[in-house]
Amino acid sequence: MIINKTPHPVNIIGGTTFPACPKNELIRLLSETVVDTPINGVPTSITIFGEPEGLPESGVFCPSCGQTTSGRFWNRDWSTCDHCDSDILETVYYIVSQLVKSACPGRDDLLVPAEVVRDNSGNIIGCRSLGR
């Protein structure tokens, strides 16, 4: 199961479109912007990025009962669902920004739009794949 956690629809060219995530369910990096020294009278700032906000633990989805849950609520080996005992489970993958993915190098369940495709005006119209 793949869930888009970005504010934009993600269109895989020739395939699926993942709808934009509701604003209250986005995964973003916490950030703070501080004023820095002006350059030739032009204001400058520095953005300091922190931990991801809204990032669930790695988890699984049970198609039998519809529960998506992090590993702490499932049997240790994720072989059966704790809710209905089904043995058909799917890993949950999240589409996130490259910033979020880069901040979480140990997470193999985070995907980013890759091989971006643009129209003649330079606008992004989709991507050819999701990058791991």
CB atoms under 10 Å from CB of 41, counted, come to 5
- What is the model's pLDDT at position 88? 75
CB atoms under 10 Å from CB of 102, counted, come to 13
- What is the model's pLDDT at position 72? 45
Residue with the bigger pLDDT between 60 and 129: it is 129
Per-residue pLDDT tens over the stretch 48-106: 999 999 988 887 888 888 777 765 444 445 567 777 777 777 888 999 999 999 999 98
3-state secondary structure at position 102: helix
- What is the model's pLDDT at position 74? 41
By CB atoms closer than 10 A (0-12, 13-18, 19+), residue 77 is exposed
Band (pLDDT 50/70/90 cuts) for residue 39 is: very high
List the beta strands (DSSP E) in the chain: 2-4, 10-11, 17-18, 28-39, 42-53, 59-61, 68-70, 90-91, 93-95, 110-118, 124-131
Average pLDDT score, the chain: 88
- What is the model's pLDDT at position 114? 96
Taking the C-alpha atoms of residue 79 and residue 61, their distance in angstroms, rounded to an integer, is 12
Section 114-129 average pLDDT = 95
Alpha-helical (H) ranges within the chain are: 98-103
Domain ranges of the chain: 2-28+47-131
- What is the model's pLDDT at position 128? 96
Residue with the bigger pLDDT between 116 and 61: it is 116
Taking the C-alpha atoms of residue 62 and residue 87, their distance in angstroms, rounded to an integer, is 8
- What is the model's pLDDT at position 75? 45
Task: Please give the DSSP secondary-structure letter assigned to residue 42.
Answer: E
Task: Please give the DSSP secondary-structure letter assigned to residue 122.
Answer: S
